[in-house]
Amino acid sequence: MSEHPVVHKLQLKILISDRTRHGSPLWSEHGLSVVAHCTYSEDREPVTILFDTGASASLLRHNLETEGPPTTDIDTVFLSHCHRDHTGGLSALLDDTDATFNLIAHPDITRRAFNLREGMKEVGPEPEVWEKIPRGNLLLLREPVQIHPGVWVSGSIPRETEFERPRPNMYTLSDGRLIPDTDPDDMALWFRLRDEGLVVLTGCGHSGIVNTIRHAAEHMETEHFRAVVGGFHLIEAKPDRISSTTEGLAKFDVQELITGHCTGRTAEDFFARSFGESHNAFCTGDRYQF
Ligand SMILES: [Fe+2]
Ligand SMILES: [Fe+2]
């Protein structure tokens, strides 16, 4: 019997992602939103977490109304980082007066972030969105914290590998100056399962997916990952970065890699070749149970 609080059953539903399956009534866009439903043994109440909100309020609203949980069932909204393809749908929930949830993110999520490749393109949400969140509902965390039984926020993810470097062109504003942005607000969720294995859920994995897994292994003192799920942001990566990532992933005991959103086709082809049936690519509407 585990001494740690654990999730008895974890269901993940990909509510929004970049790919659609034929005939799905759900809409897709470049973005990510995942519903995590945790049930427990004993008489503990289940917990529903909305991990990221996709890029647009209308799409989140449509997919929630079509196949999502009622907004009143959402206990926690977790934002993996500021980018608009993960935070753009938030206003749909803030405008929903029946919804009551805690919103959890990193304290640096409210900084202004820009892509400078073609002028100053703001990549975060409308700055006003932060003012619409009731103060008591916003929890900003930078350390690993257990937010529900067996469910952990990773806190800031240390950058340790050589090959997982911040992206060029990304800047933030500091005292009127543009300085390189290192995605300091990037965080993952960790779910500790009954067998002590972890499920790691990541938004874009801007800290590097190998760094993300390493941090979870160290902090949770586990070797075994039941699954690593999410966007790995290798969409613009060169083949050498992808092969270093593949080699780095192979060093961990990961039972299943489930990728989509900004992972990119080239990286997914590498993973399919290296990990065979242990790799799956997700589409909007897909469900996984652990
Ligand atoms: Fe993304
Ligand atoms: Fe991102």
Domain boundaries, the chain: 9-289
| Look-up of token digits 């929630």 | 64
| Look-up of token digits 């543009």 | 178
Q: How far apart are CA 78 and CA 222, in angstroms?
A: 23
Cα of 109 from ligand 1 centre, angstroms:
14
pLDDT of residue 134: 85
What are the beta bridge partners of residue 288?
A: 12
Closest ligand to residue 181's CA: 2
Tokens, residue 84 = 């608009």
Cα of 87 from ligand 1 centre, angstroms:
10
Give the DSSP H/E element, type plus range, for residue 202: strand 198-202
Across 61-176, where does the E strand assignment appear?
76-78, 102-105, 113-115, 121-122, 138-140, 145-148, 151-153, 170-174
| Three-class secondary structure of residue 280 per DSSP | strand
Residues belonging to the chain = 290
Amino acid identity of residue 216, one-letter, is A
Nearest one of 215, 271, 269 to 246, comparing CA atoms: 271
Distance of CA 75 to the CA centre of its chain: 17
pLDDT per residue as tens, the chain (290 positions)? 568 999 999 999 999 999 999 999 999 999 999 999 999 997 899 999 999 999 999 999 999 999 999 999 999 999 999 999 999 999 999 999 899 999 999 999 999 999 999 999 999 999 899 999 988 899 999 999 999 999 999 999 999 999 999 999 999 999 999 999 999 999 999 999 998 899 999 999 999 999 999 999 999 999 899 999 999 999 999 999 999 999 999 999 999 999 999 999 999 999 999 999 999 999 999 999 99
By CB atoms closer than 10 A (0-12, 13-18, 19+), residue 46 is middle
Cα of 277 from ligand 2 centre, angstroms:
27
Q: How far apart are CA 68 and CA 105, in angstroms?
A: 22
Cα of 44 from ligand 1 centre, angstroms:
33
Cα of 32 from ligand 2 centre, angstroms:
9
pLDDT of residue 2: 61
Cα of 84 from ligand 2 centre, angstroms:
8
Cα of 22 from ligand 2 centre, angstroms:
26
Q: How far apart are CA 288 and CA 37, in angstroms?
A: 11
Cα of 113 from ligand 1 centre, angstroms:
14
Nearest one of 137, 2, 136 to 78, comparing CA atoms: 137
Q: How far apart are CA 267 and CA 274, in angstroms?
A: 10
Cα of 2 from ligand 1 centre, angstroms:
35
User: Please, which residues have CB within 8 angstroms of residue 84's CB and are 6 or more apart in sequence?
Assistant: 55, 122, 123, 124, 125
Q: How far apart are CA 164 and CA 148, in angstroms?
A: 30
25: left (phi over 0), alpha (psi -120 to 50) or beta: alpha
User: Please, which residues have CB within 8 angstroms of residue 97's CB and are 6 or more apart in sequence?
Assistant: none
Q: Are 203 and 15 a contacting pair, CB within 8 Å?
A: no
pTM value? Answer: 0.97
CATH architecture label of 9-289: 4-Layer Sandwich (3.60)
Q: How far apart are CA 111 and CA 161, in angstroms?
A: 25
